[in-house]
Amino acid sequence: CPSPSELRPVNGTQLCALLYADNSPYYEQCCAGAALEVLPGTDLPYLPRGWAGRASSLVVGTRCELTVWSRRAKEGKTRHFGA
């Protein structure tokens, strides 16, 4: 997995988080498969098509916090992730 300070897409701007579709019990094989980029200030009450319940590993950038909800439309229990 990239380190939190390494989260930069191809164009070089900072990312707040990367969510990955594939995971593994072996650390070196985590953070694989499709990736969903989360830019600073992004507010997603609904995940893009095909991502609900799919993210299995994530990396949160420095000076960022990712908040997720257990139900759609920002309902249910919340969990906060940081670098």
Task: In whole angstroms, give the CA distance from residue 83 to residue 66.
Answer: 9
pTM of the prediction? 0.80
Tokens coding 76? 């249910």
Tokens coding 43? 């507010």
Each residue's pLDDT tens digit, 47-76: 888 888 888 889 999 889 999 998 888 899
Each residue's pLDDT tens digit, 2-55: 888 888 766 777 889 999 988 777 777 778 888 999 998 999 888 888 888 888
- Could you state, in order of their start, the residue ranges of all structural domains in the chain? 17-82
Pairing of strands 32-38, 75-82: unpaired
